[in-house]
Amino acid sequence: MSKSARKLLVGLLLLMVSGLALGSLYGDPVTGLLVAAFLALVWQVRQLLAYDRVVRTGEPDHFQRGDGIWQQLYSRYRFEHQKSEVYKRRYRDLLAEIRKSTDAMPDAAVVIDSDNRIVTSNRAAKELVGLRPKKDKGERIEDILHHRDFSKLLNDSDFSAVVDLPSPLRPGHWLNCRIVPYGVDQRLVLIRDITDRLRLNKMRRDFVANASHELRSPLTVISGYLEGLTDEDIPPDLHVPFHQMQSQARRMNQVINELLELSRVESAGQASFDDSVDVAGLMHAAAKTYRSEPGAPNIVVDADPTVRLLGNATQIESVITNFVSNAIRYTPVDGKIVMQWSAKKNAARLAVTDTGEGIPAKDLPRLTERFFRVDRGRARSDGGVGLGLAIVKHILSRHDTELQIESTPGVGSTFSCVFDQHRLDRVSQAQSDEVA
């Protein structure tokens, strides 16, 4: 038992004994005891009410009287109260620091709850999307930033997905949005202005396209003269450099043509992506052309003519041509190439499989990089530029799909892509025969 509790009990006991003694003096010890107990009760109730006032108002000065156990309770309360005030101040300072740093961020950060309602946002959210920190609290974010792609992103459970949207406030500006999990049942929407990045990308694309155009004209003249000359027009000791000039000029032409195609695909803003493309027909035509090439392996086409693709015919033809020309380049003459176009209920798959030399697993992720070739020396002599799959990647992303590559060195490779139902146009056998 603590010292103060002991003091309280001794005090009460002394009061009772005094009451009893005083009562006995007047011949009524019970009344004396009752009066003493009543006085003790009144005193304790007063202390209790004073303590209650201190706790309710948070003002320790209300409690000035008392000692012993009440004084101890009061000291403990004052200690805890001061401690909590210190914590509160620290928490407030910390919050202010966090707010200052999120406000200093150039990117918008918006915390939303599981119902997409805004919990809090920083200053950049106001500048980028016009979100008012106080007024818009509790509003649904899609009511403020309404765009089909953004609503899709909100419902997406894949947190690596991003979307680019036109700015709702500044015409010509673009925003990049991503969503990451945050706290319990909350998400953080991060929005950044990517206008400068897009502008730089456009400048780079324009530069490559312009430089390629400028190089093409003089090269056409040089190639024209070189192709017009024969060995008879050249002294014998210049035959070797002459043939090298011819082959390098052809190669430069190929590089420039592919660079121009890449820029066209990258900036194909106005191109139509709704043609009903006869993929089976394109496959048969490509197979016919490539079968006549010297050293071409056996080419088989297995394509469903009743399914068409809603897309850009020229670009899809380019994808097929890239797949087949690569397959031919890297498959021996006794190998086999299979071109497939097959549909299931909700999707269709375009694939070209070869029994060629295959690609080492470490190189697979790099195949769509510009100018990347697995074996630079050999591919150069074989005429590969290293831009074909970069072009394919862009075309496929414009058709809402992506390139898939499976390959085993020494066994062969499959280059494929799967198109979603919304890109398919199913026709009857009679209709497909009609077009063929």
Q: What is the DSSP string of 305-365?
A: TTEEEEE-HHHHHHHHHHHHHHHHHTS-TTSEEEEEEEE-SSEEEEEEEE-S----GGGGG
CB 157 within 8 A of CB 137: no
For residue 99, which of 120, 73, 114 has the smallest C-alpha distance?
Answer: 120
Contacting ligand ADP (CB under 6 A), which of 385, 395, 396, 417? 385
Shortest distance (Å) from residue 341 CB to ligand ADP: 18
Shortest distance (Å) from residue 356 CB to ligand ADP: 5
**Residue type (1 letter), 375:** D
Q: Which of residues 314-373 bind ligand ADP (CB under 6 A)?
A: 322, 326-327, 330, 354, 356-357, 359, 367, 372-373
- Pick between residue 139 and residue 375 the one whose CB is nearest to ligand ADP: 375
Distance of alpha carbon 38 from alpha carbon 136, whole angstroms: 60
CA 416 vs CA 10, 104, 310, 393: distances in Å: 93, 46, 17, 11
Shortest distance (Å) from residue 301 CB to ligand ADP: 17
Q: Cα(first)–Cα(last) distance of the chain, in Å? A: 103
Contacting ligand ADP (CB under 6 A), which of 303, 386, 393, 394? 386
- Pick between residue 261 and residue 357 the one whose CB is nearest to ligand ADP: 357
Helix (H/G/I), strand (E/B), else coil: 366:
helix
- Pick between residue 23 and residue 386 the one whose CB is nearest to ligand ADP: 386
Contacting ligand ADP (CB under 6 A), which of 282, 319, 374, 417? 374
Tokens of 414: 């499959």
For residue 125, which of 388, 134, 116 has the smallest C-alpha distance?
Answer: 134
Tell whether the torsion through CA atoms of 343, 348, 354 and 359 is positive or negative: negative
Shortest distance (Å) from residue 367 CB to ligand ADP: 5
Shortest distance (Å) from residue 143 CB to ligand ADP: 45
- Pick between residue 294 and residue 377 the one whose CB is nearest to ligand ADP: 377
- Pick between residue 209 and residue 405 the one whose CB is nearest to ligand ADP: 405
Put the strands of the sheet holding 275-277 in their side by side order: 275-277, 307-311, 424-426
Contacting ligand ADP (CB under 6 A), which of 384, 399, 419, 423? 384
Distance of alpha carbon 415 from alpha carbon 325, whole angstroms: 12
Tokens of 284: 């048969």
Shortest distance (Å) from residue 127 CB to ligand ADP: 42
- Pick between residue 297 and residue 356 the one whose CB is nearest to ligand ADP: 356
Q: Which of residues 395-414 bind ligand ADP (CB under 6 A)?
A: 413
CA 51 vs CA 46, 74, 76, 85, 122: distances in Å: 9, 7, 12, 19, 43
Tokens of 364: 């697979």
Contacting ligand ADP (CB under 6 A), which of 20, 219, 379, 427? 379
261 part of the interface to ligand ADP, by CB under 6 A: no
Shortest distance (Å) from residue 351 CB to ligand ADP: 12
How many other CB atoms sit within 10 Å of the CB of residue 262?
22
**Segment near ligand ADP (CB under 6 A); pick from 100-108, 149-157, 211-219, 378-386:** 378-386
Shortest distance (Å) from residue 359 CB to ligand ADP: 5
Using CB under 6 A as the criterion, which residues of the chain lie in contact with ligand ADP when the complex forms?
A: 322, 326-327, 330, 354, 356-357, 359, 367, 372-375, 379, 384-390, 413
